[in-house]
Structure 1
């Protein structure tokens, strides 16, 4: 599910089951990243722009892969 800001390009998918969107009310970019050890099975990540969101999600996915070898 995505909700882009007018005139912006949506971020490319960052990993399996990662959901991203732009919050019009908050003016921030968001991602829901699967994370089995989180209380609800996912982590909510926010950033001021797409590039920063990409970095945060890539870091989380790399950390998860290094621990489990999956995702």
Structure 2
């Protein structure tokens, strides 16, 4: 799964039959080599003029309920 430019990718991560898989919906690719992929990813950010290299992180959100008020604000139609 390769990307170029200043995109901030968001991946879906799921487990099936004990295998963890990453899915990138923007380019439609999957990989089950999660550890190798995350070790290869290099992200940089700048804070107060200092450039940092940071590692990607996985955020587990299963078994959490959505705050429906926040969801409704995000999903409003333009002009509402």
TM-score by length of 2: 0.21
Higher strand share: 2
Higher helix share: 1
